[in-house]
Amino acid sequence: MNIREFKSYAKARLEKDREAPEIRVVISSLLAEFAGIPHYWYHTQEDHVLTAGAEKALMEAVSRAAAGEPLQYILGYVKFGECRIAVNEQVLIPRPETEELWTRAKQVEGDILDACTGSGCLAVALKKASPCRTVFAFDISPGALELAQKNAEDNQAEICFFQADLMDQGELEQAANRAGLRTNSLGLITANPPYVTEKEKEYMKDGVLSFEPHKALFVPGKDPLLFYKPLAFLGRKYLKKGGILLAEINEMYGNEISLLMREAGYSDIRIHKDLFEKNRFVEAKWIQ
């Protein structure tokens, strides 16, 4: 099978659920990853014959894509900031919005705690951008932490990971103490907690619902601010005076999260929009 024949086969398998531009990205990415084919060969070297091993790997990858599996899981990684971040079904796929959060977080000075770290993309990319800063990170999921530690090692980023549940303050404090995190010592806390409500499921893509971990996506119950209450408490305990809490939020609850932060004692509270002009980030300063 040559590249032209593979393109024809893959398009026929994928065109039911994808538009032409997305199909081209998928095919080109699969050729690059599993056959070592440069992207520009997509049009210029269509007669190039694939090896038997590459053909087999590509067929398997197309079958996974046709079943709706996200391209990032098939490839096994994403580019995030200056890093290559491994991903699997234990963690959410980092979105462009989270990379925006990284861009904002880089501008804040001081040591860092990344809550609900998932793949570790934020923690790893922040450490790579500022090697002299101490970075802590935690997650409730052992599988996520294992992958985050791998990402730190692969990107030569020294990070202190620990397992903890954001909703269990007693357990979190004990785990943080064992990790060496001290009260009022941080300049920055970042977080991308679950913030999608159950009622939003009907508007989400099947690939997200079928493959990405629901525990990292959805807020259990009916309280959309569930994870922001302990997050505010976390900042009160570990941020030094003038330290910043910076987190992703559900676009529909910016006002409510601002009020929550104000009542928790934060100042200079700002809701920032993402590239799609949606309320996506809360920034709050701890001054007490």
- Residue-wise pLDDT for 244-279, tens only, equals 999 999 999 999 999 999 999 999 999 999 999 999
Q: Round to whole Å and give the CA distance between 87 and 230.
A: 27
Q: Round to whole Å and give the CA distance between 76 and 125.
A: 18
Q: Round to whole Å and give the CA distance between 71 and 79.
A: 13
Longest dimension (CA), the chain: 67
Q: Is 223 left (phi over 0), alpha (psi -120 to 50) or beta?
A: beta
Confidence of residue 207 (pLDDT cuts 50, 70, 90): low
Q: What is the mean pLDDT of residues 134-149?
A: 97
Tokens of 199: 């009622």
Assess whether pLDDT exceeds 70 at residue 208. no
Assess whether pLDDT exceeds 90 at residue 199. no
Q: What is the mean pLDDT of residues 65-80?
A: 96
Looking at the chain, list the stretches that DSSP marks H as alpha helix, in order from N- to C-terminal side. 3-14, 20-35, 41-44, 52-66, 71-75, 96-105, 121-129, 142-154, 169-179, 206-211, 214-217, 228-238, 254-263
Q: Round to whole Å and give the CA distance between 103 and 129.
A: 10
Q: Which amino acid is present at 104?
A: R
